Amino acid sequence: MKVRAFPCAVGGRPGYDLEVLAPEATVQDYLEAVNRFIAEEYGGRLCSGGPGRPCTACCWERVPLTYPDVAAYLAEESIREQLAGAPSPLLAFLERFAHVVVDGPVVDVSLARKHDGSCLFLDAGRGRCALYARRPLVCQTYLCRRPSRRAARVRSRVVNAGMDELVRRMLLESRRLGRLPVMHESRRPCPRPEDYDPGPFRGRERFGEVLLRDLLPPGLWRDLIDSRRKGK
């Protein structure tokens, strides 16, 4: 185990915190820590694909996407079949399954939602995620418990850097094909790939390829990896 999630009180209410146990911990280790915590605390009942009576609370909220989230969907056979023949599977996926908002140079990418506001992948009749094994990082790390300050910062940092890489690749791909970027909403759009820092997600397909220490600000990294020694 390279990352551990554990219960704590946040603002007097049930929360959770994180600690890093090994310097080579990756984003995947963080995800596994949170999934393990959910399984231990809730018997896996949280989330729209777990056993028993699943919870679909996260399926009605905005789900920001990172590049590895989209790469995981593109590896799914049922998605690939739907995108067959597209010149760019990435752009075709974003066009069909995402919601892209461009405001000047700023691009935001989230999963598309149905008219009732639920996620495109929610099978409302069964109360389940249609592609649970491929659900994005934001879904995997959604807990009905408050995160500690540092746990919230880790999640936010991973999502922001992972989305920057998704946007950078979308813009590069659009330029390569000589077409406009995917946009479902826009206001004076002028996004450029050069404006998006490649960061530690550059060229990576999976969360297991990205080290947390390369991704997190040094102070936050030190806090997480030293927490056991300091008895936090």
The residues binding ligand SF4 (CB under 6 A) are 48, 58-59, 63, 111, 119, 121-122, 129, 135-136, 139
Shortest separation between residue 119's beta carbon and ligand SF4, angstroms: 3
Task: Mention every residue, 6+ apart, whose C-beta is less than 8 A from residue 169.
Answer: 67, 90
126 vs 222, beta carbon nearer ligand SF4: 126
- Closest approach, Cβ 164 to ligand SF4, in A, equals 21
What tokens were used for 10?
């946040």
Choice between 67 and 121, CB closer to ligand SF4? 121
Beta bridge mates, 147: 16
**Shortest distance in whole angstroms from residue 80 CB to ligand SF4:** 17
As measured in angstroms, the least distance from the Cβ of 57 to ligand SF4 is 9
Write out the two tokens for 188: 């004076």
> Of the two residues 133 and 231, which places its CB atom closer to ligand SF4 in the complex?
133
- Give the nearer residue to ligand SF4 in terms of CB position, either 70 or 139: 139
Closest CA to 70 of 118, 123, 132, 137: 137
Tokens at residue 211, please? 């080290």
Distances 18 to 45, 50, 145, 227 between C-alpha atoms, Å: 21, 23, 13, 9
